[in-house]
């Protein structure tokens, strides 16, 4: 066995780096908000509490599974609150918490940059895609 191979050392470094990445707050946040449905749910909830079914209708393309999964994730992170009213047919409302609302400005910043610059990005893409040869 003798010396550890370069591959082994690299492997080791990689594992550590992955662990480091997983612990990075920015990455954690990006992982959360980059989820396909999170942004939609957040902005839907920005206007006030909504029931499960209402969210499903507003968001339209979401399956019950993904909606629940998204909601659970957000609840777990303390960004939304799940409030159950035990009436005859149960009624469940979801609402942004204080923490969840504090995230809205960030979402707005993202939206703002996107609206101001995405046309440039799209132009760059078009140009890039249209360049088959010659500088």
Partner DNA sequence: CGGTATCCCCGGCGATACTG
Partner DNA sequence: CAGTATCGCCGGGGATACCG
> What is residue 80's three-state secondary structure?
strand
Helix axes 98-129, 38-45, angle to 10 degrees: 130
Cβ closest to a copy of itself, residue 2 vs residue 39: 39
Label each residue of 81-118 as H, E or C.
EEEEECCCCCEEEEEECHHHHHHHHHHHHHHHHHHHHH
Partner in contact with 25, chosen from DNA, a copy of itself, none, beta carbon below 5 to 8 Å by kind: a copy of itself
* β-strand pairing of 50-51 with 80-85: unpaired
Sign of the Cα torsion 100, 37, 43, 67 reads negative
CB of 5 to a copy of itself, least distance (A): 17
Asked if 44 is part of the footprint of DNA (rule: CB under 7 A), the reply reads no
Q: Work out the number of other CB atoms within 10 angstroms of the CB of residue 54.
A: 13
If one asks whether residue 133 binds DNA (CB under 7 A), the answer comes out as no
Site for a copy of itself in 16-75 (CB under 8 A): 17-18, 21, 25-31, 33-34, 36, 39, 60-61, 75
Chain positions contacting DNA, by CB under 7 A: 7, 11, 14, 35-37, 51-54, 61-66, 68-69, 71-72, 82, 89-92
Chain positions contacting a copy of itself, by CB under 8 A: 13-14, 17-18, 21, 25-31, 33-34, 36, 39, 60-61, 75-79, 99, 102-103, 106-107, 109-111, 113-115, 117-118, 120-121, 123-125, 127-129
């Amino acid at each position: 066995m003798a010396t550890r191979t370069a591959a082994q050392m690299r492997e080791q470094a990689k594992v550590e780096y992955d662990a480091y990445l997983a612990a990075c707050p920015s990455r954690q946040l990006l992982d959360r908000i980059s989820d396909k449905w999170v942004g939609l749910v957040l902005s839907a909830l920005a206007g006030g509490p909504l029931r499960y079914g209402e969210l499903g209708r507003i968001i339209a393309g979401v399956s019950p599974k993904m909606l629940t999964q998204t909601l659970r994730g957000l609840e777990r992170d303390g960004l939304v609150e799940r409030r159950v009213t035990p009436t005859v047919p149960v009624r469940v409302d979801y609402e942004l918490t204080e923490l969840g609302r504090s995230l809205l400005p960030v979402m707005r910043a993202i939206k703002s940059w996107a609206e101001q610059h995405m046309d440039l990005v799209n132009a760059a893409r078009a140009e890039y895609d249209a360049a088959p040869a010659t500088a």
